[in-house]
Structure 1
Amino acid sequence: MTDAWAIDIDRDDIAKAALAADPATPLAPGQIRVRLDSYAMTANNITYAVFGKPAGLFGNDQGYWDFFAEPGEPGRLPVWGFATVTESAAEGIAIGDRFYGYYPMAREAVLTAGKAGPSGFTDVTPRRTTLPPIYNQYQRIEALEGYRPADHDYWPVFRPLFLTGWLIADQFEDEGDYGAEQILIASASSKTAIGLGFSLAQRQGPRPRTIGLTSKAHVAALAGQDIYDRVIAYDDITALDPGTPSALVDMAGNGAVTQAVHGHFGDGLKASIIVGKSHWDADAGEAALPGPERQGFFAPGRSQKRIADWGGAAFGQKIAAAWLGFMDVAPRLARIDKRSGGEAALAAYRDMLSGRVDPKAGIVVEP
């Protein structure tokens, strides 16, 4: 195996993944080569793999595989992390510059830098220009709003997922909570769910109750984190009052849970929102269900709406303030589990795919 490696994933079967040599190629003008310092492996990355092929999320015929692999090549899974420039043919970017952003699950990456400046740059690789802008922006560590060195390892583990949770909470407030008096949050031990629960709890004034849904084995530990107003096991959904106007946020696409909630609340369910698909091998419950039609939540789209509503600077300031509040409690919610090298990176992916990861672990891979 050469020094540089990447993990290739079968586009048709995400369980088939292998460590592959990734020899360096000469840079074209405008390109940079980065060495990944660290990245997070979370259930969110499994959602990226599930939607690697076009699924209509981006409003075009592209999927998550299109960020880092050409059509016909094995998939390269996107991850969030930090990287250091090791070679540059781009104006305004120097060797040693460090950036936070979206990278392939690999030791190195080649990016095409456009609009480089004090805050960072935008990747302008042709196949990426029609993908959501939020994924193509790379920020200098020095310019990250709300960044503190002490939070470094928590940033790739929680930041993208917290942002998604915060945006869901914002949408609920914007929509008058869909008329719900309680919000049921499935896969409540997931990091996106925790971000949502935390964000809802910070709201000033009246708000719906939050009920975290999780497996029986996780109820006591999750309740002890004081993120949700109440935590119950999936088996106890039918003990809830079906007459209470409710909403469901499904973080993992588990059809059995969706069916149980829809079946129990029926028309008392005012909204049913699906966010992720980490339960990639489970029935997604797409059959006709009582109650509202399920709606997908797509964080990049919501981000773009709020940037248009508030302006980019105000959006960034709101997120930074919320993030710093969350960072005050994050260390008690998750422990950082560091893994080094290609074999460990492949094992981390397989562990996450199989669901063998402790929800309280925040996996950080150091390639």
Structure 2
Amino acid sequence: MASSQTNVEMWVEQADISKIAFKKAPIRALDENEILCRIDSFGLSANNVTYAALGKSFRYFEFFPVVGGKGDAAKYGKVPVWGVATITKSRHPSIKTGERIYGYLPLAQYHIIKVSPSGLTPSFFYTLRDHLPEDRKVYNQYFRVTGDPFYDPKKEGEMMLFRPLYWTSFFLSDYLNEKKHFGAKSVVISSASSKTSFCFAWMSKQRGLSTIGLTSQGNVAFVKSLGFYDSVLTYEQLGQIPAQDSLYVDMSGSKSLARKVHDQLGSNLKRAISVGLANTGESRGTFPEGTELFFAPPWMKQRQEELRGTLLQLMIKSWAEAMAKVDDWVKVKRLSGTENVAKTWETMAKGRTPPDIGYVLTLSDSATGQSKL
């Protein structure tokens, strides 16, 4: 029996992710062990721009494949987001309607999840994506908020904004610490105003590293206000980077900036790590030779095996410390409806969002619970 409900999804053009289209389609009937989730809200940040910019090369568009007319799958991609959803229909015996979950979702109003036959606990369950590499399994986990150790209803918006970014920062910091920071005593961090960057800077400061933030002139005041960068330089002040043994952590994706930092540090550069892609306009070209690409899921998987029984407690402690300070870092701004989502995405894709605002969005109109499409 077909469903009378309809879904609205936001698609981006693969050739230019600032261009979007909203697509409306009926929601199919559920198969056995499937659940229908209404996506209540989701965080939107430079992290999601990275997912879209790397949609083909890193296979982010394969998590939620486009199903549409002829040529749509080649032209468009669905942007993954981290959000909170309510289960409105269930054909799984252990998952009830009304339950709320947190996890990796498409930028849409609704999503159907096929629940894996294994791995279900009171805290989480998995979906299956056999077409993707094993190291992407972290994206297949959905947390049931009633048993989620990281969930706090008072910080739900902050969780959606910071949680995926925070664990990238956490595991990068852990990785570099395990490598004894490659002998460096300081770390230079680009896109210093981004959430991933400043969370990493906060952790680096706790580990005793000197932190140097690189940012645009317009973001200098914000970056300084955070209080855990020892110095803040604009991209025009690279000549002031101290001649000391340093790491370079690139969060911008700018190859030209990376080359300038390499030239400035010379033999003092102990390691260059590329993590993100905050500025999609700078994504072309090549990084200087020797740049290491850090992708968090494989390292997370390794540490889960090495720190079995203790890693979760370390993560809970670190997360609690961050959430106690998060109100000093950003203010949550909630918006609803396709028009607001479109404007926010366009601004974000062009790198123009203020660093002190965190966007929590929903495609539904707040008054009606439906899209205005």
**TM-score, structure 1 as length reference:** 0.91
C-alpha distance in structure 2 between counterparts of 1:222 and 1:255, whole Å: 22
- How far does the alpha carbon of each residue in 1:123-157 deviate from its partner, in whole angstroms, 9 at most, with x for none? 12544575611100001111221322221110010
Q: Displacement, 1:318?
A: 1.1
C-alpha distance in structure 2 between counterparts of 1:142 and 1:202, whole Å: 31
The equivalent of 1:299 in structure 2 is: 296
Deviates more, 1:334-343 or 1:78-87: 334-343
The equivalent of 1:347 in structure 2 is: 343
The equivalent of 2:235 in structure 1 is: 234
Deviates more, 1:26-35 or 1:347-356: 347-356
Amino acid at match of 2:343: A
5+ unaligned residues in a row in structure 2: which ranges?
364-373
- How far does the alpha carbon of each residue in 1:331-354 deviate from its partner, in whole angstroms, 9 at most, with x for none? 111011111022222222211101
C-alpha distance in structure 2 between counterparts of 1:129 and 1:278, whole Å: 24
The equivalent of 2:257 in structure 1 is: 257
The equivalent of 1:60 in structure 2 is: none
Q: Displacement, 1:319?
A: 1.1
Alpha carbons 2:168, 2:196 under 8 Å: kept: yes
Secondary structure of the residue that 1:91 maps to in structure 2? Answer: coil
C-alpha distance in structure 2 between counterparts of 1:32 and 1:279, whole Å: 36
| The one of 331, 334, 351 aligned to 1:335 | 331
Secondary structure of the residue that 2:112 maps to in structure 1? Answer: strand
The equivalent of 2:274 in structure 1 is: 274
Taking structure 1 as reference, are residues 50 and 181 closer, same or farther at Cα in structure 2, changes over 3 Å only? Answer: same
Amino acid at match of 1:137: Q
Secondary structure of the residue that 1:15 maps to in structure 2? Answer: strand
Alpha carbons 1:44, 1:161 under 8 Å: kept: yes
- How far does the alpha carbon of each residue in 1:8-39 deviate from its partner, in whole angstroms, 9 at most, with x for none? 22233323311110321111111111000110
| The one of 169, 172, 184 aligned to 1:168 | 172
Q: Give the count of matched residue pairs.
A: 351
Is 1:66–2:62 an aligned residue pair? Answer: yes
Q: Displacement, 1:90?
A: 1.5
Secondary structure of the residue that 1:155 maps to in structure 2? Answer: helix
| The one of 43, 46, 53 aligned to 1:43 | 46
Taking structure 1 as reference, are residues 129 and 167 closer, same or farther at Cα in structure 2, changes over 3 Å only? Answer: closer
Taking structure 1 as reference, are residues 112 and 225 closer, same or farther at Cα in structure 2, changes over 3 Å only? Answer: same
Q: Displacement, 1:301?
A: 1.3
Q: Displacement, 1:228?
A: 1.5
C-alpha distance in structure 1 between counterparts of 2:232 and 2:240, whole Å: 13
Deviates more, 1:194-203 or 1:330-339: 194-203
Q: Displacement, 1:283?
A: 5.0
Taking structure 1 as reference, are residues 284 and 270 closer, same or farther at Cα in structure 2, changes over 3 Å only? Answer: farther
C-alpha distance in structure 2 between counterparts of 1:326 and 1:132, whole Å: 25
C-alpha distance in structure 2 between counterparts of 1:131 and 1:35, whole Å: 27
The equivalent of 1:103 in structure 2 is: 105
Q: Displacement, 1:307?
A: 0.5
Is 1:80–2:82 an aligned residue pair? Answer: yes
The equivalent of 1:8 in structure 2 is: 11
Alpha carbons 1:11, 1:75 under 8 Å: kept: yes
Amino acid at match of 2:141: Q
The equivalent of 1:145 in structure 2 is: 149
C-alpha distance in structure 1 between counterparts of 2:220 and 2:150, whole Å: 32
Secondary structure of the residue that 1:106 maps to in structure 2? Answer: coil
C-alpha distance in structure 2 between counterparts of 1:343 and 1:126, whole Å: 35
Alpha carbons 1:145, 1:317 under 8 Å: kept: no
Amino acid at match of 1:335: K
Alpha carbons 1:146, 1:321 under 8 Å: kept: no
**TM-score, structure 2 as length reference:** 0.89
5+ unaligned residues in a row in structure 1: which ranges?
58-62
Amino acid at match of 2:107: M
Is 1:198–2:202 an aligned residue pair? Answer: yes
Alpha carbons 2:277, 2:283 under 8 Å: kept: no
Secondary structure of the residue that 1:100 maps to in structure 2? Answer: strand
Q: Displacement, 1:67?
A: 0.5
Alpha carbons 1:19, 1:343 under 8 Å: kept: no
Amino acid at match of 1:230: S
Is 1:188–2:184 an aligned residue pair? Answer: no
User: Which residues in structure 2 correspond to 1:108-147 (within 5 Å)?
Assistant: 108-114=110-116, 115=118, 116-127=120-131, 130=134, 132-147=136-151
Q: Displacement, 1:201?
A: 2.3
Taking structure 1 as reference, are residues 146 and 70 closer, same or farther at Cα in structure 2, changes over 3 Å only? Answer: closer
The equivalent of 1:223 in structure 2 is: 224
Amino acid at match of 1:320: I
The equivalent of 2:213 in structure 1 is: 212
Taking structure 1 as reference, are residues 27 and 328 closer, same or farther at Cα in structure 2, changes over 3 Å only? Answer: same
Matched-pair identity in %: 31
Alpha carbons 2:280, 2:350 under 8 Å: kept: no
